[in-house]
């Protein structure tokens, strides 16, 4: 049976290291989280970020805004945070209400403070292999997890199921940068099982509870389950865990797999910005 990739365990270890790093800084890392409306899922995600931030010593402030807020007001708020030197990261919890343009909001962020790395500037730098980009937290966390288990990507086939901007596309770029051969599949892909069975690394980000059963998986493959689905039998991934565990070589659980790695990666970006701020401050003293 598969070796379970322990995202929560690794995230806990990394949190301790980050906490020490923060203790050695003179500045306090600051993350602003903009939360629009009352989406219950978003509130759960924000709470898990708050918990991690508190542990590490990051000052995370949630700015809760009503569902009816105008785009202009959010843009003004972002502008203010962009200009405040002591703000290291800004993130806008998705989804946003229909009347607000996701693109306008995301691209208003100062790219160095775009803690989620979703802006066109960061995404462009990621695809162009330019230095100093911020990688989206979920794919970054996945790479950290694979590296921790010394899983070598070079020359291997990676198949991603799902083509989202926040997970799948940036993940494809990070995998390419590691010399993996990458295939992205999606709802319109006709022979998805056949393609998935070629994968040495199979990444699933569809939001379809337990859709990937063992027929998708080559024996011994590494299977990374990004999905988070609430069902009447609890929280499950996009992978049928008990079935796929029998054939995969490695498998991430849900919960305690990719989720905690996402949160810790976000915290890493914020601490790294605070470090840079301290160094720059020291230079101008
Ligand atoms: P999304 O919800 O934006 O899009 C889903 C993608 O899956 C689409 O590209 C679609 O074409 C594809 N898809 C859907 N059904 C399919 C099918 N039957 N066959 C093939 N492809 C199919 O994607 P997302 O934002 O990447 O989210 C995916 C899942 O990951 C969700 O469950 C979400 O909650 C979860 N998620 C988890 C984390 C984390 O930290 N663990 C972070 C982000 C998203």
Report pLDDT digits (tens) over 77-127.
Answer: 999 999 999 999 999 999 999 999 999 999 999 999 999 999 999 999 999
- At 91 the three-state DSSP class reads strand
- Does residue 75 share a domain with residue 155? no
pLDDT reported for residue 281? 85
Last residue of a domain, one of 70, 92, 110: 110
* Cis status, amide bond into 192, omega within 30 of 0: no
- Establish whether residue 207 lines the binding site of ligand 1, counting it when its CB lies within 6 angstroms of any ligand atom: yes
* Phi, psi (degrees; rounded to nearest 5) at 182: -110, 130
From residue 126, alpha-carbon distances to 38, 51, 205, 213, 231 in Å are 32, 29, 20, 32, 35
> Which run of H or of E encompasses 204?
strand 201-204
| Residue 122, domain member (yes or no) | no
Q: What is the pLDDT of residues 219-255, one digit of tens each?
A: 999 999 999 999 999 999 999 999 999 999 999 999 9
Please determine, for residue 157, whether its predicted confidence score (pLDDT) is greater than 90: yes
pLDDT reported for residue 285? 60
CATH number at residue 63: 3.40.50.10860
Q: Is 57 left (phi over 0), alpha (psi -120 to 50) or beta?
A: left
| Residue 276, domain member (yes or no) | no
User: Residue holding tokens 């319109």?
Assistant: 188
| Residue 205, domain member (yes or no) | yes
Is 164 one of the annotated binding-site residues? yes
Long-range interactions of 147-152: CB distance < 8 A, separation 24+: 148/10, 149/3, 149/5, 149/250, 151/201, 151/222, 151/250
Is 162 one of the annotated binding-site residues? yes
- Establish whether residue 145 lines the binding site of ligand 1, counting it when its CB lies within 6 angstroms of any ligand atom: no
CA dist 71 and 106 (Å) reads 12
| Residue 175, domain member (yes or no) | yes
**What would the mean pLDDT of 166-186 be, rounded to a whole number?**
98
Count of Cβ atoms closer than 10 Å to residue 48 Cβ? 14
- Does residue 180 share a domain with residue 250? yes
- Establish whether residue 168 lines the binding site of ligand 1, counting it when its CB lies within 6 angstroms of any ligand atom: yes
Q: What is the DSSP-derived secondary structure letter of residue 239?
A: B
- Distant-in-sequence, close-in-space partners of 208: CB < 8 Å, separation ≥ 6: 227, 229, 238
- Does residue 255 share a domain with residue 168? yes
Q: What is the pLDDT of residues 250-264, one digit of tens each?
A: 999 999 999 999 999
Is 72 one of the annotated binding-site residues? no
* Phi, psi (degrees; rounded to nearest 5) at 231: -125, 175
Residue 198 among the catalytic residues? no
- Does residue 158 share a domain with residue 73? no
CA dist 261 and 270 (Å) reads 15
Closest C-alpha residue for ligand 1 atom 31? 207
Dihedral, 233, 237, 240, 241 alpha carbons, nearest 10: -90
pTM given for the model: 0.97
- Does residue 238 share a domain with residue 142? yes
Please determine, for residue 283, whether its predicted confidence score (pLDDT) is greater than 80: no
CATH number at residue 187: 3.40.50.720
Closest C-alpha residue for ligand 1 atom 18? 187
**What would the mean pLDDT of 34-54 be, rounded to a whole number?**
96
* Domain that includes residue 231, residue range: 137-259
- Does residue 170 share a domain with residue 102? no
- Establish whether residue 186 lines the binding site of ligand 1, counting it when its CB lies within 6 angstroms of any ligand atom: yes
**What would the mean pLDDT of 181-206 be, rounded to a whole number?**
98
Q: What percent of the chain has pLDDT over 70?
A: 99
| Residue 192, domain member (yes or no) | yes
Tokens of 123: 């995404």
Q: What is the DSSP-derived secondary structure letter of residue 238?
A: S
- Does residue 158 share a domain with residue 55? no
Task: Ligand 1, residue 163: give the atom nearest the CA.
Answer: 9
- Does residue 153 share a domain with residue 96? no
- Over the chain, what is the mean pLDDT? 97
pLDDT reported for residue 284? 63
**What would the mean pLDDT of 172-198 be, rounded to a whole number?**
98
């Amino acid at each position: 049976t598969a070796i379970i990739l322990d995202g929560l365990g690794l995230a806990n270890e990394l949190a301790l290291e980050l906490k020490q790093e923060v203790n050695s800084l003179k500045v306090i890392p600051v993350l602003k989280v903009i939360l629009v409306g009352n989406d219950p899922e978003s509130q759960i995600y924000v709470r898990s970020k708050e918990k991690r931030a508190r542990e590490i010593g990051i000052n995370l402030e949630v700015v809760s805004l009503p569902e009816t807020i105008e785009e202009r007001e959010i843009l003004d708020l972002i502008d203010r945070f962009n200009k405040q030197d002591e703000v290291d990261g800004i993130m806008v919890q998705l989804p946003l209400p229909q009347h607000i343009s996701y693109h306008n909001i995301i691209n208003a962020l100062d790219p160095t403070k775009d803690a989620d790395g979703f802006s066109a500037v960061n995404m462009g730098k990621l695809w162009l292999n330019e230095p100093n980009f911020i990688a989206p937290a979920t794919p970054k966390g996945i790479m950290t997890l694979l590296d921790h288990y010394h899983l070598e990507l070079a020359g291997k086939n990676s198949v991603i199921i799902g083509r989202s901007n926040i997970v799948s596309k940036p993940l494809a770029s990070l995998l390419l940068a590691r010399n993996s051969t990458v295939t992205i599949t999606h709802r319109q892909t006709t022979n998805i099982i056949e393609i998935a069975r070629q994968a040495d690394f199979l990444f699933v980000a569809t939001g379809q509870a337990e859709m990937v059963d063992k027929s998708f998986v080559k024996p011994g493959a590494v299977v990374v389950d990004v999905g988070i689905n609430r069902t009447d039998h609890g929280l499950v991934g996009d992978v049928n865990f008990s079935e796929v565990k029998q054939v995969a070589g490695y498998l991430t659980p849900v919960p305690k797999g990719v989720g905690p790695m996402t949160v810790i990666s976000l915290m890493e970006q914020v601490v790294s910005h605070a470090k840079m701020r301290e160094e720059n401050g020291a230079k101008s003293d």
